[in-house]
Amino acid sequence: MDNPPLASLSLTHVHYNPADRVSYLCAWLALVPQGLCVVYATLIWSNREIEIMLMFTGQMACEALNWCLKRYIKEERPREMHGKGYGMPSSHAQFVTFFSITLSLFLLFRHVPHPTETHTPFSFGQRFLLSVVALASAAAVAFSRIYLSYHTPKQVLVGCAAGAIFAVLWFGMTTLVRRAGWIEWVLDTQLARLFRVRDLVVQEDLVDSGWARWVERRQKTKALRVQAKKSR
């Protein structure tokens, strides 16, 4: 065939009602999981934090669980849905629920930032507020799947439940791994040293990473300039 029929890349292909502003917003919310994967990859590459790697590993394991559940339950999507694949449980709902709950558990129970001369970290109340925002955002994404008729309310609720349960189990398992000293063992391996893997985010905000050294370097540079001017 000289001109074979074109296919649609379903990864970002979202149906919505162009006359409905809420539907348009929901179509953008449907892209949140893909956006979070980009965020994961960017943070892992730029910061090499093992905590982010653990979270991303759990995220992918949660996706694998969703893939298995869909093919075991084999429940169809709503009739209004134009796409393909099974609908039970909602992968979007499971994805964002795992992310938001894992992030909340980290911020509230594992993240103990220490203040420095150049940075004042978030207080517990601020971290709690950030957790509420993350959970509310996840709820908005889950709602969008129902509004766009990609899933039934039952499929979304089951997806949220699966994501929440897996998030709690994963957080508990990584806590045991940390207490057993396995994280320290991994960080001492030659491979971890080769890729500059570190474990600072538990006690240091990401925004403070390297900031103290940068401020100290600038202060030294300014001091040298002042001395140079005085010596002229």
Task: Tell whether 3 is covered by a domain.
Answer: no
Domain span including residue 101: 21-231
- Average the pLDDT over 191-200 and give the result: 86
Give 73-118 pLDDT, tens digit per residue. 888 888 766 556 777 898 999 999 999 999 999 999 988 877 766 6
Task: Tell whether 6 is covered by a domain.
Answer: no
Task: Tell whether 52 is covered by a domain.
Answer: yes
* Alpha helices, DSSP H, located in the chain: 21-29, 32-47, 50-73, 91-105, 124-147, 153-179, 182-187, 190-194, 211-231
Specify the number of domains making up the chain. 1
Buried-exposed string 54-81: b where 16+ CB fall within 10 A, e elsewhere = bbbebbeebbebbeebbeeeebebeeeb
> Lowest-confidence range among 58-72, 174-188, 203-217?
203-217
Using DSSP's 3-state secondary structure scheme, residue 49 falls into strand
Task: Tell whether 7 is covered by a domain.
Answer: no
Q: What is the pTM of this model?
A: 0.82
Task: Tell whether 221 is covered by a domain.
Answer: yes
Give 158-175 pLDDT, tens digit per residue. 999 999 999 999 999 999
Task: Tell whether 8 is covered by a domain.
Answer: no
**For all residues of the chain together, what is the average pLDDT?**
85
Rg (CA), the chain: 23
Task: Tell whether 16 is covered by a domain.
Answer: no
Task: Tell whether 111 is covered by a domain.
Answer: yes
